[in-house]
Amino acid sequence: MDFRTGYGAAWLDLLATRLGRYSGAEPTEFLADPAALRQWLGEHDLVPAGRIDPDDVANAQALRESLHGLAAAAVAGRRPAAADVRTVATALLADSPPQLRLTPDGLRAQRPVDIAQALGRLARQAVDQLVGPERVRLRACGDETCAGIFLDDTGRRRWCADERCGVKVRVRAHRARQKA
Ligand SMILES: [Zn+2]
């Protein structure tokens, strides 16, 4: 599975595991089964020691959708839905501070003991950025058909990825000019 990444934080990358939210067509689900979820967590150093079941996939998807709700509300300056706040609050109950590990590759956080703790860690990262000083740097992608939300470190970033969303918008604008 080729996951999208580069949104500036693991929890923002998580939002991009469901694509096409605003396209009107059936969205593409990248976290469809335990193997996909395990692979995604592995790419973010969050593979739990315990197993991952289909129920865990459903929980991860539900958390992701609520995090998207909170993030989309934040960038739009809207009040978030209470149900989304409750879902994230529940995920946070499983969070606990990670212990440090010194590995041959340098410092690492201890792996989560189970999937609930992995999701709790993602939820904590989201909360830190949704209510902390970084919240003013959260941006929605400038491509209105893209639901990507990213952390803008430069103050000038407009797209999740210029080679994808930026190009798409420029091609659409070019076609519109040709039609006119
Ligand atoms: Zn985008």
Domain 10-136 in this protein, CATH class: mainly alpha
Q: How far is the CA of 178 from the centre of ligand 1 (A)?
A: 24
Cα 37 to ligand 1 centre (Å): 22
Ligand 1 centroid to residue 72 C-alpha, Å? 13
Q: Which two tokens stand for residue 119?
A: 């999701």
Domain boundaries of the chain, sorted by first residue: 10-136
Q: What is the pLDDT of residue 52?
A: 96
Cα–Cα distance measured from residue 64 to residue 87, given in angstroms and rounded to the nearest whole number: 10
- pLDDT of 3 reads 95
Q: How far is the CA of 43 from the centre of ligand 1 (A)?
A: 20
Q: What whole-number distance in Å separates Cα of residue 122 and Cα of residue 77?
A: 22
So what's the pLDDT on residue 28?
92
User: What pLDDT was estimated at residue 114?
Assistant: 95
Bridge partners of residue 107, in order along the sequence = 102
Ligand 1 midpoint to CA 161 (Å)? 6
Would you call 60 helix, strand, or coil by DSSP?
Answer: helix
* pTM for the model: 0.92
Question: Nearest to residue 8, comparing CAs of 160, 180, 178, 166?
Answer: 160
Kindly give the parts of the chain with pLDDT less than 50. none
What pLDDT is stored for residue 161 in this prediction? Answer: 84
Which residues have C-beta within 8 Å of that of residue 105, sequence separation ≥ 6? none
pLDDT at residue 125 in the model: 97
Expressed in angstroms and rounded, the spacing between residue 144 Cα and the centre of ligand 1 is 8
Q: At residue 85, what are phi and psi to the nearest 5 degrees? A: -60, -40
Closest CA to 32 of 3, 71, 69, 66: 3
Dist. CA 13 → ligand 1 center (Å)? 12
Find out whether 134 and 69 touch, Cβ atoms under 8 Å.
no
pLDDT for 116: 97
The CA 123 to ligand 1 mean position distance, Å, reads: 22
What pLDDT score was predicted for residue 121? 97
How big is the chain by its Cα radius of gyration, in Å? 17
pLDDT digits (tens, 9 = 90+) for 85-132: 999 999 999 999 989 989 999 998 999 999 999 999 999 999 999 999
Please state the length of the chain: 180
**Residues with a beta carbon under 5 angstroms from ion ligand 1:** 141, 143, 146, 148, 160, 165
